[in-house]
Amino acid sequence: MPGSTGNKSGAASEASGAAQSGAAAQGGQATYSKEQLDRLVAEAVAAEKVKYADYDTYKDKAAKYDAAEAAGKSELQKATDRAAALQAEVDKMKAAAAVSSIRAKVAAEMHVPESLLMGSTEEECRKHAKAIQDFAGKTDYPAVKDSGETGGSGGATSPRDAFASWFNL
């Protein structure tokens, strides 16, 4: 084709140029036969199809890229969640070790068994240890006449007589 630019859209523009020159000769209005119009539309559609011939390929590549990116994000999210769970577990263990250390220190200082102490701060443990000491130091036992010994000093020989003498019966 003379004057062709080497692509299919050049043929469409050449045909439209010929039609326009024919229209100019007829007084400014272009008239086309059905065959000419069909050919012009088919050439224009073919030219557009050439522009987007790789559309499906690019669309598939974009879908694969999006899927890979989503999979990568989900793997990253899984790793992030796992790291957060492990960090929470480490923090919990550190807190338990700190409480155990506080209880051991208070137990040693206040001479109270560590297993009896409650509380998570040193102040709470000290209050609890003091309460344990106060309870353990109580001597609210009933007074016994002969210090709880049977026989000899009370003069009673049977348990019945010993009880009677203890309670002044």
Sign, Cα dihedral of 67, 72, 78, 81: negative
Sorted by where each begins, the domain ranges of the chain are 8-54, 65-136
The yes-or-no verdict on residue 14 having pLDDT over 70 is no
Kindly give, in sequence order, each residue whose CB lies less than 8 Å from that of residue 112, ignoring residues fewer than 6 positions away: 106, 129, 132, 133
Sign, Cα dihedral of 72, 75, 80, 83: negative
Contacts 24+ apart (CB under 8 A), 114-121: 120/95
One-letter amino acid identity for 126? R
Q: What is the pLDDT of residue 3?
A: 43
The whole-number average pLDDT for the span 81-100 is: 95
Q: What is the pLDDT of residues 103-143, one digit of tens each?
A: 999 999 999 999 999 999 999 999 999 999 888 886 666 66
Sign, Cα dihedral of 159, 165, 167, 169: positive
The whole-number average pLDDT for the span 51-72 is: 87
Q: What is the pLDDT of residue 168?
A: 74
Distance CA 82, CA 94 (A): 18
Q: What is the pLDDT of residue 150?
A: 55
Distance CA 128, CA 103 (A): 10
Mean pLDDT over the full length of the chain? 79
Distance CA 61, CA 57 (A): 6
Q: What is the pLDDT of residue 73?
A: 79
Q: Which residue has the higher pLDDT, 78 or 145?
A: 78
The 3-state DSSP composition of the chain as helix, strand, coil percent (nearest 5) reads 70, 0, 30
The answer to whether the CB of 48 falls within 8 A of the CB of 40 is no
